[in-house]
């Protein structure tokens, strides 16, 4: 069944471009690394022009947004994008929304949108590992697959998804595992939700666990988010980075701890000091798979637990939690819920 207000014969999808490799132009067919040097970043309408004829069964509306390299995106960009997507999701004529994005922070933007935009309509994020005009580019196939996925009723209720290399991933679990490979985006713990076949069919093999419909934060009221930093643990790490984060005004710190989620000893001492000062300290892990199990010493030291969220995604959830609650138990309840 098509979403309300959408033609059964030709669903409409909004295409929001934020820049990234998928919108860039290489200087020669094998410019897979230094293509940003060309200085060309195309908007959604330009990106769409080359693909529109290949999707005759989908109406596509280009929606302008900021042109941002994914290494430059900041929290205020996320909030502006989320508010734009939330407005688009309310339109009865749209079946779904596609966002093109640079791959460096694509999984983080997907998770931010999943946490802040509540709609049954498909919100699909895609990007490219190679610019559209270079040899072997995945830009066209990825954009085609994303538009087909967003137009499909099969993705209704699946929240925000990432479509890359014809695979459909949920925002919570997807991560970029390789620098340049076309299959860089994967969901190591649970696998993809499904795929977009060569003929355009959208095949869903499992559905994600839905996020809670009620959120402690309200998107329309968010103007900024509290500062939260990530400290990476390694052999011999001391507390210098933690001290710098505290001095910079961090209200939260996520520890990307040594697997299974433990900071190095000297680093831990400074994290204990931070927690005693009222800073929310969340234990996550450098490991790609598995949960950070609750530990007695972590609770004693006042630490919170990210469970199986990656450090970057735990940071985003912690920022939103700190914008809505202040007590340690309330923050942990949010970390447990999402």
Q: What is the DSSP letter of 235?
A: T
- Structure confidence at residue 51 as a pLDDT band (50, 70, 90): low
More confident residue, 53 or 100: 100
pLDDT at res. 8: 53
Query: Residues of the chain with pLDDT > 70: what percent?
Result: 96
Dig out the tokens for 55 from the structure: 């999707």
Does the pLDDT of residue 74 top 50, yes or no? yes
Please give the average per-residue pLDDT across 8-21, as a whole number.
89
Residue 152's pLDDT is 97
The first and second tokens of residue 101, run together, are 């994005």
Whether residue 104 has pLDDT greater than 80: yes
What backbone torsions phi and psi does residue 170 show, to the nearest 5 degrees? -80, 150
**Would you say residue 6 has pLDDT above 80?**
no
Q: Tell whether the model's pLDDT for residue 4 goes beyond 60.
A: no
Name which residue leads in pLDDT, 47 or 298.
298
Classify domain 226-337 at the CATH topology level: Rossmann fold (3.40.50)
β pairing state of 252-257 and 228-232: parallel
Going from the C-alpha of 259 to that of each of 106, 185, 228, 328, the distances in angstroms are: 24, 22, 21, 24
The first and second tokens of residue 241, run together, are 């980075």
Residue 71 among the catalytic residues = no
pLDDT digits (tens, 9 = 90+) for 251-268: 999 999 999 999 999 999
φ, ψ (nearest 5 deg) of residue 114: -60, -35
Query: What integer is the mean pLDDT of 212-240?
Result: 96
Q: What is the overall mean pLDDT for the chain?
A: 94
The whole-number average pLDDT for the span 278-294 is 97
pLDDT at 58 over 60: yes
Rounded to a whole number of angstroms, the CA Rg of the chain reads: 20
Tokens encoding 318 = 């912690």
CA 39/CA 132 separation, integer angstroms: 15
CB 231 within 8 A of CB 254: yes
Confidence of residue 50 (pLDDT cuts 50, 70, 90): low
Instruction: Tell me the HSE value of 198 on the side-chain side, using a 13 A CA sphere.
Output: 0
Question: 336 is written with which tokens?
Answer: 């447990």
**pLDDT over 70 (residue 202):** yes
Token match 């941002």: residue?
68
Domain definitions of the chain by residue range? 12-204, 226-337
Q: What would the CATH number be for the domain defined by 12-204?
A: 3.40.50.1170
Q: Which residue, among 6, 2, 204, 211, has the nearest Cα to 118 in the 3D structure?
A: 211
Determine the average pLDDT of the residues in 45-55.
Answer: 71
- Of 61-65, 152-156, 185-189, the poorest mean pLDDT is in 61-65
Mean pLDDT of 144-172: 97
pLDDT > 90? residue 3? no
Q: What is the pLDDT of residue 43?
A: 75
Question: Measured between alpha carbons, how far is 82 from 70 in angstroms, rounded to an integer?
Answer: 15
What confidence score (pLDDT) does residue 180 get?
A: 95
| Whole-number pLDDT of residue 48 | 73
Q: Which of the following is catalytic: 6, 21, 105, 161?
A: 21
What is the model's pLDDT at position 56?
Answer: 80
User: What 3-state DSSP class applies to 104?
Assistant: coil
As a whole number of angstroms, the distance between CA 66 and CA 266 comes to 42
The reply to whether domains 12-204 and 226-337 share a CATH topology is: yes
Tell how strand 96-100 and strand 12-17 pair up: parallel
Sheet holding 202-204, edge to edge: 59-63, 12-17, 96-100, 123-126, 160-164, 167-170, 194-196, 202-204
Q: Choose the weakest-confidence range: 1-15, 29-43, 212-226, 240-254.
A: 1-15
Place of tokens 């979403």: 3
Q: Which two tokens stand for residue 231?
A: 């400290």
Q: Provide the pLDDT for residue 102.
A: 96
191 token code pair: 């696998």
Q: With CA atoms as reference, report the closest residue to 257 among 190, 321, 310, 320.
A: 310
């Amino acid at each position: 069944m098509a979403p309300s207000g959408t033609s059964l014969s030709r669903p409409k999808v909004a295409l929001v471009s934020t820049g990234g490799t998928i919108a860039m132009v290489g200087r020669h067919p094998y410019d897979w690394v230094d293509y940003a040097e060309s200085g060309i970043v195309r908007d959604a309408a330009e990106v769409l022009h080359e693909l529109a004829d290949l999707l005759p069964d989908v109406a596509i509306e280009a929606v302008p947004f900021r042109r941002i390299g994914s290494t430059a995106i900041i929290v205020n960009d996320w909030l502006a994008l989320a508010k734009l997507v939330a407005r688009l999701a309310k339109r009865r004529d749209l079946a779904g929304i596609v966002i093109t994005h640079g791959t460096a922070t694509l999984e983080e933007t997907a998770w931010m949108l999943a946490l802040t935009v509540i709609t049954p309509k498909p919100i699909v994020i895609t990007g490219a590992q190679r610019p559209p005009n270079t040899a072997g580019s995945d830009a066209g196939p990825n954009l085609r697959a994303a538009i087909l996925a967003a137009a499909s009723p099969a993705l209704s209720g699946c929240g925000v998804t990432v479509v890359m290399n014809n695979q459909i991933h949920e925002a919570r679990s997807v991560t970029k595992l390789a620098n340049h490979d076309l299959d860089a985006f994967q969901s190591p713990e649970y696998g993809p939700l499904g795929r977009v076949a060569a003929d355009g069919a959208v095949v869903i093999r499992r559905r994600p666990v839905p996020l809670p419909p009620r959120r402690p934060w309200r998107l329309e009221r968010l103007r900024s988010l509290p500062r939260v930093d990530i400290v990476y643990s390694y052999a011999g790490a001391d507390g210098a980075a933690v001290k710098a984060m505290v001095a910079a005004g961090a209200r939260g710190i996520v520890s990307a701890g040594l697997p299974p989620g433990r900071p190095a000893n000297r680093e831990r001492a400074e994290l204990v000091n931070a927690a005693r000062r009222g800073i929310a300290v969340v234990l996550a892990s450098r490991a790609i798979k598995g949960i950070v199990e609750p530990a007695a010493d972590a609770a004693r030291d006042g630490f919170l637990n990210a469970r199986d969220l990656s450090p970057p995604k735990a940071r985003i959830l912690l920022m939103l939690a700190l914008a809505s609650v202040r007590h340690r138990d309330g923050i942990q309840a949010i970390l447990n819920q999402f």
